[in-house]
Amino acid sequence: MTKEQFLEILETETEHEKDYKPTKPCDEALRGLNVMAKYIKGNVIMGADHDVIYSVEVQVLVDAGITEEDVVTIRNSMWWSEDGDYLQHFV
């Protein structure tokens, strides 16, 4: 998988997801972090702002061999990448 493929999956919205409203955003954040932790040794949270946490760079996950299925899980957990580099999630 390439970084471009990862980002394309991340940005693709299915019909189901358009109406999806998580009841506990922190649960969704944790689910995505757990997926990322399968590929990363050490910290998967790289920083935080007032209401956003930042995780690893997309390229790091691609280089670690992340699967399409896991990228879909991250996407379905409401993670996004504003700049195409780091993954972000509202908390």
The per-residue pLDDT string of the chain (91 residues; one tens digit each, 9 = 90 and over) reads: 999 999 999 998 765 555 556 556 568 899 999 999 999 999 999 999 999 999 999 999 999 999 999 999 999 888 999 989 999 999 8
Quote the CA–CA distance of 47 and 81 in Å, as a whole number: 14
| Residue 31 structural domain | 3-90
Quote the CA–CA distance of 21 and 18 in Å, as a whole number: 9
The domain tally of the chain equals 1
pTM of the full predicted structure? 0.86
Contact (CB, 8 A) for 90 and 25: yes
Quote the CA–CA distance of 16 and 20 in Å, as a whole number: 7
Closest CA to 73 of 42, 30, 21, 26: 30
